[in-house]
């Protein structure tokens, strides 16, 4: 049984700036839990006992988190700090720590796929490489994979335009109709399983940097088998942009990624942390997650689809919905937060509003001002001018 997993957690998360300027993407909270903790919890629940977390960008923050949370967990977690060019190069540089067949996961997605089922499939088929595939409405933003009737990968196209993928599908269907199994909506999830021998291939071919663009096409060109495993029915989302970040939080609140769940105890769709005080005159509309040490003052309205981090102060008559407000923010009286993401330690002064925007860490929104729509404020911004309408 495969018990080793490699978690790639070194990306810069450029599309999520300004949030990722101060917090590595794997530590961004979804449902008041870091994305990385959702992945690690899933791996542990499926019997993986050795987890190697590859860290690079803002790696000291990930290392500190792992040390603080998992030191006494009983699970072997290694976190080498490396400087890889891409996904395959990361595994190449981690090879001294890998001594058996293994799986590779992304550290910046939310998924509930059956990773044990995937690993067992890989072992049962005795494959060199296997790819977990997800169903998508369009392969345009993904690596598309074409399989034959035996589940073997026969063609890869990275983020194809619609006509490119249609042409490829028709070409293979025409030439190999007897063998074709045209899963035109299956895309590369970024989750892989490998025999240990893949490390020799990576070491012998240092030009192979990325699994989707380089390694898998190279394996096919050299007559080596790559299998596809459909993660049928699984939830999977790349938390790569502010809109998908908000979607991931909302979906987790809805229970779409079960058994993954927000932090806290569930009271009818309201997840509550410890030592949180909610005024009797306030209204909390589920689904909502509220962290530890939060104060929700009189006549405030929270939710639906709101995630409030730890030690947040929500002022009187304030409203927060369809938004994520991270730790240690202060929302003074009569503020409105809608369809937005607020990073840590933000002060929104009385009567101000933030709509359809992203605000970087340690910023201040001055009294009575409106941020939005589409605004992106860098960390430590002092917003003293009007954008959009209240």
Q: Which of residues 305 and 151 earns the better pLDDT score?
A: 305
Residue 146 DSSP SS3: strand
> What pTM was computed for the model?
0.89
Confidence of residue 159 (pLDDT cuts 50, 70, 90): low
Work out the average pLDDT over 106-116: 93
Contact 189, 118 (CB under 8 A): no
Output the pLDDT for position 388: 41
Q: Which secondary structure element, helix H or strand E, spans residue 306, and what is its range?
A: strand 306-308
Per residue in 344-361, pLDDT tens?
Answer: 999 999 999 999 999 999
Q: How far is CA 34 from CA 97, 130, 280, 355, 366, in A?
A: 25, 27, 30, 24, 29
Percent of the chain with pLDDT over 70: 88
Work out the average pLDDT over 80-94: 87
Lowest-pLDDT choice from 88-92, 137-141, 292-296, 317-321: 137-141
Q: How far is CA 197 from CA 22, 127, 146, 201, 250, in A?
A: 38, 11, 24, 7, 41
Domains in the chain (CATH in brackets) are 4-136+185-238 (3.90.550.10), 266-383 (2.160.10.10)
As given in the structure block, the two tokens for residue 384 are: 């003293």
CA dist 282 and 297 (Å) reads 7
Confidence of residue 139 (pLDDT cuts 50, 70, 90): low
Output the pLDDT for position 86: 87
Q: How far is CA 230 from CA 130, 136, 141, 269, in A?
A: 10, 12, 18, 31
322-359 per-residue burial string, b: 16 or more CB within 10 A, e: under 16? bbbbbbbbbbbbbbbbbbbbbbbbbbbbbbbbbbbbbb
- For all residues of the chain together, what is the average pLDDT? 88
pLDDT higher than 70, residue 261: yes
pLDDT higher than 50, residue 127: yes
CA dist 263 and 53 (Å) reads 22
Contact 27, 62 (CB under 8 A): yes
Output the pLDDT for position 175: 53
Contact 347, 365 (CB under 8 A): yes
CA dist 298 and 315 (Å) reads 7
Contact 226, 152 (CB under 8 A): yes
Per residue in 286-319, pLDDT tens?
Answer: 999 999 999 999 999 998 999 999 999 999 999 9
pLDDT higher than 50, residue 273: yes
Work out the average pLDDT over 362-370: 94
What does DSSP assign to residue 150?
T
Output the pLDDT for position 37: 95
Total Cβ atoms within 10 A of residue 174: 9
CA dist 23 and 376 (Å) reads 16
Output the pLDDT for position 72: 72
Nearest Cα neighbor of 216 from 157, 140, 164, 160 is 157
* CA gyration radius, the chain: 23
Per residue in 219-247, pLDDT tens?
Answer: 988 989 889 898 888 999 989 899 999 99
Work out the average pLDDT over 251-266: 96
CA dist 90 and 304 (Å) reads 40
Tell me the CB-side half-sphere exposure of residue 101, using CA atoms within 13 A.
18
pLDDT higher than 50, residue 170: no
């Amino acid at each position: 049984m495969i018990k080793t997993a490699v978690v790639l957690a070194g990306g810069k998360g450029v599309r999520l700036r300004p949030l990722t300027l101060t917090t590595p993407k794997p530590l961004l909270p979804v449902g008041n839990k870091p994305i990385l903790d959702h992945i690690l919890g899933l791996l542990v629940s499926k019997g993986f006992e050795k987890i190697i977390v590859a860290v690079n960008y803002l790696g000291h923050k990930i290392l500190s988190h792992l040390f603080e949370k998992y030191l006494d967990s009983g699970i072997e977690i290694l976190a080498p700090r490396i400087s890889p060019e891409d996904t395959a190069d990361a595994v190449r540089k981690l090879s001294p720590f890998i001594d058996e067949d293994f799986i590779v996961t992304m550290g910046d997605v939310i998924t509930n796929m059956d990773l044990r089922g995937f690993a067992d499939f890989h072992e049962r088929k005795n494959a060199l490489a296997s790819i977990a595939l997800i169903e998508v409405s369009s392969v345009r933003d993904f690596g598309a994979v074409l399989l034959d009737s035996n589940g073997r990968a026969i063609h890869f196209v990275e983020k194809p335009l619609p006509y490119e993928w249609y042409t490829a599908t028709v070409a293979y269907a025409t030439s190999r109709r007897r063998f074709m199994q045209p899963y035109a909506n299956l895309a590369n999830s970024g989750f892989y399983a490998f025999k240990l021998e893949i490390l020799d291939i990576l070491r012998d071919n240092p030009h192979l940097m990325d699994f989707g663009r380089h390694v898998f096409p190279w394996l096919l060109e050299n007559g080596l088998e790559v299998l596809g495993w459909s993660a049928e029915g699984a939830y999977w989302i790349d938390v790569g942009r502010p809109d998908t970040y908000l979607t991931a939080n909302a979906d987790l609140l809805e229970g779409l990624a079960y058994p993954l769940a927000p932090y806290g105890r569930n009271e009818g769709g309201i997840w509550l942390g410890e030592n949180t005080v909610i005024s009797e005159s306030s209204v909390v509309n589920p689904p909502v997650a509220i962290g530890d040490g939060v104060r929700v003052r009189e006549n405030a309205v929270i939710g639906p689809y709101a995630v409030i981090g730890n030690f947040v102060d929500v002022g009187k008559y304030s409203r927060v919905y369809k938004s994520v407000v991270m730790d240690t923010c202060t929302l003074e009286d009569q503020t409105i937060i809608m369809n937005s993401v607020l990073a840590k330690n933000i002060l929104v002064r009385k009567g101000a509003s933030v709509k359809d925007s992203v605000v970087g860490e340690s910023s201040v929104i001055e009294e009575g001002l409106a941020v939005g729509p589409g605004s992106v404020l860098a960390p430590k911004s002092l917003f003293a001018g009007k954008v959009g309408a209240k």
